[in-house]
């Protein structure tokens, strides 16, 4: 099993979700996060003075999948979240030992 953690631009969320649903992914966890990378932050103004806000809002998606879906999911996110500009985000892939569905106690692939 793999845990996909994707950081994307907030305005792309709707497209990414629709693409993932079309690709057969049934669930994900979503967090509003802030951070910076090559895109850096943005400037704001206060009474004529400019100051830098060095973090940008992003959306973090967490998706747990079977190994065989890895390629489909990463390609789906890459194509639906991409604008071609700096700041499109990243995808992290982590191996997961096990997963348990709390309600039933199912484990492994059955619990995804």
Asked if residue 14 binds another protein (CB under 8 A), the reply is yes
- Integer Cα distance of 79 and 82 in angstroms: 6
Q: Tell me which of 18, 44, 75, 110 binds another protein, using CB under 8 A.
A: 44
Q: Which stretch binds another protein (CB under 8 A): 9-17, 58-66, 73-81, 95-103?
A: 9-17
Q: Tell me which of 10, 27, 108, 109 binds another protein, using CB under 8 A.
A: 10
Q: Which stretch binds another protein (CB under 8 A): 37-45, 63-71, 94-102, 104-112?
A: 37-45
- Residue 87: DSSP 8-state: T
Q: Tell me which of 26, 38, 43, 49 binds another protein, using CB under 8 A.
A: 43
- Integer Cα distance of 81 and 1 in angstroms: 23
- Residue 69: DSSP 8-state: G
**Helices 13-22, 70-81: crossing angle, 10 deg rounding:** 150
In 3D space, the residue among 47, 63, 75 whose CA is nearest the CA of residue 5 turns out to be 63
Q: Which stretch binds another protein (CB under 8 A): 5-13, 18-26, 71-79, 91-99?
A: 5-13
């Amino acid at each position: 099993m793999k845990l996909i953690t994707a950081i994307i631009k907030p305005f792309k969320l709707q497209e990414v979700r629709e693409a993932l649903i079309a690709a057969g992914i049934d669930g994900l966890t979503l967090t509003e996060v802030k951070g910076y990378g090559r895109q850096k932050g943005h400037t704001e103004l206060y009474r004529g003075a400019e100051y830098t806000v060095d973090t940008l809002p992003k959306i973090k998606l967490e998706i747990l999948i079977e190994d065989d879906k890895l390629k489909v999911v990463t390609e789906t996110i890459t194509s639906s979240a991409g604008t071609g500009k700096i700041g499109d985000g990243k995808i992290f892939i982590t191996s997961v030992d096990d997963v348990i569905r709390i309600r039933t106690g199912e484990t492994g692939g059955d619990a995804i």
